[in-house]
């Protein structure tokens, strides 16, 4: 028997169906609210609004739980490779050895970019933001593969399109780095793993092959696994909104890249490092920065802290914090920013402003330090987040089509001028 919610407006009661999800989350289905009551809901930022039913990722913000298709992030981080996690997120099940080998081969086979695409890199200033390049190039790549412009969410066509996108996003990222530093493009090597091939395209030289150490390759793999999906965050919701108009996958994820760019979302990983570097160079005590973040008179936030959903530790931050130590130790590197980050975290845990608002380190707080250890430059940090999130974006795009989701078109409450007559220019004074 379907549970009901009752809403009373102007002494009249209305009933709406309720739905309980796999993890006992409950929702009120207001699909027919406006038709029945003439009212809409208002929820700026959608903090209380569900946009879809999804079986891809589950986050419990109170308990600090994150699972991809039911598998805890802690296990996947420990035991799974990024391509394996991509397969899981896209298909809903972990791959067999044969399925994984075929998927890897499919991705490896799509790594190269069309020669004509490369001229678009050379026409850009070296200072071009890599996120701008990524968003643009994702649409441009589809011009060289007209078959991906078809909106197909199943079968071999979809599998090929997904593999092509997972592969090319990595090449575009590496090429944008090479262009920014005036270096020649390094072609992909299909014999290398996903992460090793990316690092090869980033750091090899024409006559000097870069061979990633197992520590570095494993650290990059972990970074990508931790970023692979995260329910209906800002960028994934953007991919769904664009995809809901039945725009193709490449244009939908291109929009997702733009949404991810913002410092409140994926841009935070770079903003954290800039904040830590400023703390280090300013000579100011850390409390000075905490006070600024607490002072409502300025627009300063403690980057890498807080989360719309996690009101406990972000499990990804816990994993990254542990791994950063290990990677720096294995590489025999020291990073003074890590010490500052640890002190910052420690102080917030004792500060009522942060504790009372459940502001804990999120995925972006330690991820930049890991990327520094790997040797990725700061202007590429959010690009790395986009590479990691690609499987989640693709899976959500596909799911909305599988569910035949209507085009997204929120309502509004108008607060502007009511009707008035046009005034001729001569009469306006």
- Residues designated as active site: 307, 364
Residue 307 within binding range of ligand SDX, rule CB under 6 A: yes
**Per-residue x/- marks for ligand SDX, 27-66, CB under 6 A?**
------------------x---------------------
Cα dist from 340 to 219, 279, 280, 330, 346, whole Å: 21, 8, 7, 20, 10
Q: Which is nearer to ligand SDX, 165 or 344 (CB)?
A: 344
Range list of H helices, 181-285: 194-203, 214-226, 234-243, 249-260, 268-282
Q: Which of residues 9, 264, 349, 355 is near ligand SDX by CB under 6 A?
A: 264
Residue 362 within binding range of ligand SDX, rule CB under 6 A: yes
Q: Which of residues 133, 268, 328, 384 is near ligand SDX by CB under 6 A?
A: 268
Give the interface segment with ligand SDX, choosing from 153-161, 180-188, 296-304, 333-341 (CB under 6 A).
296-304
Q: Which of residues 242, 363, 370, 395 is near ligand SDX by CB under 6 A?
A: 363
d(CA 421, CA 36): 34
Give me 109's structure tokens: 């086979």
Give the interface segment with ligand SDX, choosing from 175-183, 207-215, 359-367, 408-416 (CB under 6 A).
359-367
Residue 321 within binding range of ligand SDX, rule CB under 6 A: no
Give the interface segment with ligand SDX, choosing from 93-101, 152-160, 217-225, 260-268 (CB under 6 A).
260-268
Give the interface segment with ligand SDX, choosing from 132-140, 261-269, 372-380, 420-428 (CB under 6 A).
261-269
In the complex, residue closest to ligand SDX by CB? 306
Residues 83-142 that bind ligand SDX (CB under 6 A): none
Residue 34's contacts (CB-CB under 8 Å, 6 or more residues apart) are: 40, 411
Q: Which of residues 86, 196, 222, 303 is near ligand SDX by CB under 6 A?
A: 303
Q: Which of residues 359, 376, 386, 395 is near ligand SDX by CB under 6 A?
A: 359
Residue 311 within binding range of ligand SDX, rule CB under 6 A: no
Under 8 Å between Cβ of 263 and 303: yes
Q: Which of residues 187, 308, 311, 347 is near ligand SDX by CB under 6 A?
A: 308
Give the interface segment with ligand SDX, choosing from 175-183, 216-224, 244-252, 298-306 (CB under 6 A).
298-306
Residue 230 within binding range of ligand SDX, rule CB under 6 A: yes
Selection from 229, 189, 230 nearest residue 212 by Cα = 189
Query: In 10 A of CB 288, how many CB atoms?
Result: 12
Under 8 Å between Cβ of 165 and 281: no
Cα 409 to the center of its chain, rounded Å: 23
Cα dist from 246 to 142, 232, 406, whole Å: 15, 18, 10
φ, ψ for residue 341 (rounded to 5)? -60, -45
Using CB under 6 A as the binding criterion, the count of chain residues that bind ligand SDX stands at 22
Residue 382 within binding range of ligand SDX, rule CB under 6 A: no
Residue 302 within binding range of ligand SDX, rule CB under 6 A: yes
Q: Which is nearer to ligand SDX, 219 or 386 (CB)?
A: 386
DSSP of 371-386: HHHHT--GGGHHHHHH
Residue 345 within binding range of ligand SDX, rule CB under 6 A: no
Cα dist from 238 to 41, 280, 394, whole Å: 20, 36, 12
Give me 61's structure tokens: 């913000």
Please report which helix (H) or strand (E) contains residue 160, including its range. Answer: helix 155-180
Phi-psi region of 231 (alpha: psi -120 to 50; beta: other; left: phi over 0): left
Task: Report in angstroms how near the CB of residue 265 gets to ligand SDX at its nearest.
Answer: 4
Note the residues at the interface with ligand SDX (CB under 6 A). 45, 230, 233, 264-266, 268, 293, 301-309, 357, 359, 362-364
């Amino acid at each position: 028997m379907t549970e009901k919610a009752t809403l009373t407006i102007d002494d009249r009661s209305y009933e709406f169906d309720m739905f309980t999800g796999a993890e006992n989350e409950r929702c009120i289905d207001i699909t027919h609210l406006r038709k029945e009551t003439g009212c809409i809901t208002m929820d700026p930022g959608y903090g209380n609004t569900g946009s879809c039913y999804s079986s891809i990722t589950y986050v419990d913000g109170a308990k600090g739980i994150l699972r991809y298709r039911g598998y805890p992030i802690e296990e996947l981080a420990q035991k799974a490779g990024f391509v394996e996690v991509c397969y899981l997120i896209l298909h809903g099940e972990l791959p067999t050895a044969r399925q994984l080998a075929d998927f890897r081969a499919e991705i490896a086979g799509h790594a190269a970019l069309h020669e004509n695409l490369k001229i678009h890199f050379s026409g850009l200033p070296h200072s071009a933001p890599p996120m701008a390049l990524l968003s643009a190039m994702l649409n441009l790549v589809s011009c060289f593969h007209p078959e991906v412009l078809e909106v197909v969410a199943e079968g071999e066509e979809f599998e090929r399109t997904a593999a092509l996108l997972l592969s090319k996003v990595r090449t575009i990222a590496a090429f944008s780095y090479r262009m920014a530093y005036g270096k020649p493009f390094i072609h992909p090597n299909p014999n290398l793993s996903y992460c090793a091939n990316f690092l090869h395209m980033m750091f090899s030289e024409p006559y000097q092959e870069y061979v990633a150490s197992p520590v570095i390759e494993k650290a990059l793999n972990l970074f990508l696994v931790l970023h692979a999906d995260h329910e209906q965050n800002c960028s994934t919701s953007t991919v769904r909104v664009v995809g809901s108009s039945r725009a193709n996958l490449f244009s939908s994820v291109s929009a997702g890249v733009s949404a991810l760019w913002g410092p409140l979302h994926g841009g935070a990983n770079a903003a954290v490092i800039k904040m830590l570097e400023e703390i280090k160079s300013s000579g100011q005590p850390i409390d000075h920065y905490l006070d600024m973040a607490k002072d409502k008179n300025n627009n300063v936030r403690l980057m890498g802290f807080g989360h719309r959903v996690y009101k406990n530790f972000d499990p990804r931050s816990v994993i990254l914090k542990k791994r950063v130590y290990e990677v720096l130790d294995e590489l025999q590197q020291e990073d003074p920013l890590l010490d500052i980050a640890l002190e910052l975290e420690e102080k917030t845990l004792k500060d009522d402003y942060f504790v009372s608002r459940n502001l804990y380190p999120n995925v972006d707080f330690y991820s930049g330090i890991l990327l520094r250890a790997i040797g990725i430059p700061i202007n590429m940090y959010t690009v790395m987040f986009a590479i990691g999130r690609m499987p989640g974006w693709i899976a959500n795009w596909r799911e909305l089509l599988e569910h035949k989701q209507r085009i997204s078109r929120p309502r509004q409450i108008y607060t502007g001028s009511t009707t008035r007559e046009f005034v001729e220019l001569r009469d306006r004074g």
